[in-house]
Amino acid sequence: MGHDAVYVDWAGTDEPFDYALARRLRSPLMHTAAGRVLVAHMTAPERREWVAVTFGADEEGAVHALRTAARIRDDGLERGPSGPVMPDVRTVAVPVGAGDRVVAAVSIAHHLPGTDEVLDRYEGLLRTAVTEWERRGTS
């Protein structure tokens, strides 16, 4: 929503995660994996405007954001640290499309040992769910 990521819903398994999300229903886009996916899928003019507004004179931050966005578009997802609020949490986030536009992003986060293997499973689950959601939207 605007220049913020907005959590529509979440399900957590521990108190710190639930607390962080409940207190930060809006976060800067680059502070969440789903937000970074949304930045990546803005049109180029929208993304440049967003970078200009968000980073102003911080050229290093702007370049980093644009490189991150390019990597996400190339990979088709964001996978890695959740963001500064929960830096020890690893996440995978994928875009949700409607026609030829990305209209949302969905993510799953995990902070326990064996995270990389769990994120592999989560990635598959998210891609399957998103494919089904997108199919329903075109029916």
pTM score: 0.82
Kindly calculate the radius of gyration of the chain based on its CA atoms and give it in whole angstroms: 15
Summarize pLDDT for 43-88 with one digit per residue, the tens.
999 999 999 999 999 999 999 999 999 999 999 999 988 888 777 7
Cβ atoms of 55 and 61 within 8 Å: the answer is yes
Hey, what are 101's tokens?
A: 């536009």
What's residue 59's pLDDT? 94
For the residues 18-22, what does the mean pLDDT come to? 70
Kindly list the distances between the CA atom of residue 15 and the CA atoms of 19, 78, 113, 118, 119, in Å, as whole numbers in the listed order.
Answer: 6, 25, 18, 20, 21
Of residues 57 and 113, the one with the higher pLDDT is: 57
